[in-house]
Amino acid sequence: MDDTRFTWEVETALPDRRNALNFELVTVRDGVASIAGRYRFPDSDVWQDVTLIFNDDGVADRIIGADAGGSGLASIGLAEGGEFQTYRAMVTPDGRVMREPGNSYTWRPGALRYDQAAAPTGTYQLGFLVTAIGGTTGFESVTVAVNNDNLDPTLRGYVDPDWGFNFHYPAVWFDVTYFPDDDWLQTSNAERTEFIFVYPVYAAAGQSPEAIAREALGRFQATPEGLAPISVAGQEGLEFTFSYLSDGQPFVGRGFAVYNAALELGLVFAAEVSDPARLDPIYATLRDSLTFFDILSYLEADAGFWSPNNEIEGVSFPVPTGWNIVQGDPWLFYTPETPDDSGYFITGAAVAQQPGTDAKVVLSSLLAQAAEIRMDYRVTGSEVYHSVNHTWETVLFEYTAPTGQAVAGRMHVTLVDGTAWALWFEAPADPAEALMRGPFDVMLDGFMVEGAGQ
């Protein structure tokens, strides 16, 4: 599970939107939308627990329930005039989920449908229910105030919690998406003739908006023209136009460049179209809806235990928030301790990247280097560890620290495309088991080499 970010689009599912009946909890899993409930045939008092399944158009087309023998699931033949009643899930303070009957709908073929609609103005409880493999549950919620009065249904909003801004774009366009290979944000219409882009320019301290614009557009051999000062959402910047060819198709664009001093980041916001007549309205939507927020205050308010790795390119893994980072060779260390003047600490995790074609060979080499500087070093076991994303050759070891403390550790190595990735964990023997089953295992299980297995 990745607990770094949860996003609610401030929408809810509205069955039979034409008649605006009720909002319901629709579960979408592996692309299949469903509602849990119960069903009874016309003129019957017998209810049967079922799951209502929607097709790709949002139309309810079948109900699944227990088969006649009660040993499996099967589609139930539905009769017009039958009653489907949703279940409303209520979560108790101790995390138990209780189901109670909710709204009722009369079954008519093709009549029951749902669509995503903006959540009505009001106060909501966003709940987070976590269920462990053994069945233990935990629940927490937060109160959120929503104001969707005077909402323009032709537009959608995008909020960027990394760079601190939000803006509107046409509701029928694709979702705003970050493309890591190109390093930009993009949304467009289905025909891909109209776009909104956001281009980041890093290490922009001291750069003028013009320099930021030229660096961003230089990616595709475009040059900013008609430069003019502009103020957008309280930020001073530089507006410009540009043009280029994409697969032989001419495009025109208009954008502006701003500098975020807190992040030392330059940003270029641009509308780009193949039909020049469409440029002004799309650009106006972007420019007039854009707002900035204090991203550092937002990040400081994040009280989560985990943060994403931002130090090593090509991999992602969670790191306990607030742990100190110590640069080594070839290791990068993370520790909850404050290293002494010589840089020494005991408890920590480390990540290294090495060339290699045999995980066991790399592991033996790294362990040999570690053993040279450790007193009473001894191997206590070895195993193959299967994490969520990778398979690791693993060695467990112990040694005596200079302070006289007994220390327990593990080292793991996995191979991906001719590169060996190593994770190394150590802690005083007494709390080591809790750390191994806590932060250390989470870091290992969450470790993922980008593009692995693709």
pLDDT above 60: residue 125? yes
Query: Mean pLDDT across the stretch 300-311?
Result: 78
* Region 82-105 average pLDDT: 81
**Percentage of the residues of the chain whose pLDDT score is greater than 90:** 46
- The answer for residues whose C-beta is within 8 angstroms of residue 266's C-beta and 6 or more apart is 200, 201, 202, 204, 207, 209, 212, 215, 216, 257, 258, 259, 260
For the chain, report the end-to-end CA distance as a whole number of angstroms: 20
| Structural contact between residues 432 and 439, judged by C-beta atoms closer than 8 angstroms | no
Amino acid at 137: T
Q: Name the token pair of 164.
A: 């601190």
- 429-443 burial code (b ≥16 CB/10 A, e <16): eeebeebbeebbebb
Summarize pLDDT for 381-417 with one digit per residue, the tens.
Answer: 999 999 888 999 999 999 999 888 899 999 999 999 8
Q: Is residue 7's pLDDT more than 80?
A: no
Please check the confidence at residue 327 and state whether its pLDDT lies above 90. no
pLDDT of residue 17: 47
Least confident segment among 123-137, 240-254, 338-352:
123-137
In this prediction, residue 88 has a pLDDT band, given cuts at 50, 70 and 90, of confident
**Cα pseudo-dihedral 152, 156, 158, 159, rounded to 10:** 40
Per-residue confidence (pLDDT) for residue 16, from 0 to 100: 57
- The average pLDDT across 351-362 equals 93
pLDDT at 44 over 80: yes
Burial of 88 (0-12, 13-18, 19+ CB in 10 A): middle
292 DSSP 8-state letter? E
Domains within the chain, CATH numbers bracketed:
11-146 (no CATH), 155-296 (3.40.1000.10), 306-449 (3.40.1000.10)
